[in-house]
Structure 1
Amino acid sequence: MNDVTVKVIVRSPPPVIWKIWSNFPESPLWDTDVRHCELNGPFQPGTQGKCVLNNGLKMPLKLEAVKPQESYRNSAKLLWINLEFDHRLRRLSPNETQVIHSAKISGPLSFLYRGLMRKALTVAMTTALNNLKALAELRADVACIPDGEKSETHLHLV
């Protein structure tokens, strides 16, 4: 059972979203709770890394499962809480994709923080997905512009 699930429909094909997801150093572009994020190896199961949140907390993480262009799951630890994040893509049409993020909260003291964590994760994940949607749609639009017509202004995020 997931504690939090957030969904959004993005006017972008899955490969555009996948490229954003799998580039962990770019995470702060769309996940505004993250200051810095890195993986210590390739985007595949078993690779470990960490994210530094804007509040300064360091969150170690590990990629648990990866299905390229479809989904990935990572585990993370935040204080005394274990988190499992599931990221899924569901193609609705050639240029429309449903993005689903879910989180499970566990650990010995999770019962103390579950309600607070659910609220905080719902807000954070909703904001992150809305930002991901905007970024993916911008990049999908830019990908459709013929190379000769692309300019610097099209490539900068607002």
Structure 2
Amino acid sequence: MNDVNVQIVVKSPPSEIWKIWSDFSQAPLWDTDVRHCELEGPFQAGTHGKCVLKNGLNMPLKLEAVSLHESYRNTAKLLWIDLEFDHRMRRLSSEETHVIHSARISGPLSFLYRGLLRKALTAAMTKALDNLCSLAEQRTNTSRSPAEKTAAHLHLV
């Protein structure tokens, strides 16, 4: 069971979302609770890294699973809490992708903070997905030719 589950439909192909997800150093562009993120190797299962949050907390992480252009899962430690973040997407059409981010809270003291963390993570993850959507759609529109932009606009009307 996931403690937090947020989702959005993005008017962008999965490849654009994947570019954003897999460039960890650019995470602060869309995840505004993060000041800095880095991986100690390639974007693949087993790679360790860390994120420094806006509040200054250092959050070590590990990529647990990576399915190219589909999903990735990472675990993180925040104080005495274990977090598991799952990022998934599913192509709906050539112009739309369903994106889902979920989080699971566990660890020996998680019962003390679960309610508070659930509320904070829901707000932060919702904002991050909204930002991801805006960034992906902006990049998709920038890379389209004028004819593609017109066709996309006509399709939406």
- What TM-score, normalized to structure 2? 0.92
Offset of residue 145 of structure 1: 3.0
The whole-number CA distance in structure 2 between the counterparts of 1:73 and 1:108 is 21
The whole-number CA distance in structure 1 between the counterparts of 2:145 and 2:60 is 39
Q: Percent identity?
A: 73
Q: Which residue of the partner structure matches residue 150 of structure 2?
A: none
The whole-number CA distance in structure 2 between the counterparts of 1:80 and 1:25 is 25
The correspondence of residues 131-146 of structure 1 with structure 2, limited to 5 A, is 131-145=131-145
SS at match of 1:75: strand
Q: Which residue of the partner structure matches residue 75 of structure 1?
A: 75
Q: Which residue of the partner structure matches residue 10 of structure 1?
A: 10
- What TM-score, normalized to structure 1? 0.91
Q: Which residue of the partner structure matches residue 54 of structure 1?
A: 54
The correspondence of residues 30-41 of structure 1 with structure 2, limited to 5 A, is 30-41=30-41
**Structure 1 unaligned blocks of 5 or more:** 147-158
Offset of residue 131 of structure 1: 0.2
The whole-number CA distance in structure 2 between the counterparts of 1:86 and 1:22 is 13
State how many pairs are aligned: 146
The whole-number CA distance in structure 2 between the counterparts of 1:87 and 1:95 is 19
The whole-number CA distance in structure 1 between the counterparts of 2:140 and 2:127 is 20
The whole-number CA distance in structure 1 between the counterparts of 2:128 and 2:93 is 23
Offset of residue 143 of structure 1: 1.4
Q: Which residue of the partner structure matches residue 19 of structure 2?
A: 19
The whole-number CA distance in structure 2 between the counterparts of 1:66 and 1:135 is 22
Q: What CA deviation, in whole Å up to 9, does each residue of 1:76-117 have, x standing for no partner? A: 000000000000011100110000000000000000000000
What root-mean-square deviation, in Å, do the aligned CA atoms of Structure 1 and Structure 2 show? 0.7
Kindly provide the amino acid, as one letter, of the partner of residue 23 in structure 1.
Answer: D
The correspondence of residues 96-111 of structure 1 with structure 2, limited to 5 A, is 96-111=96-111
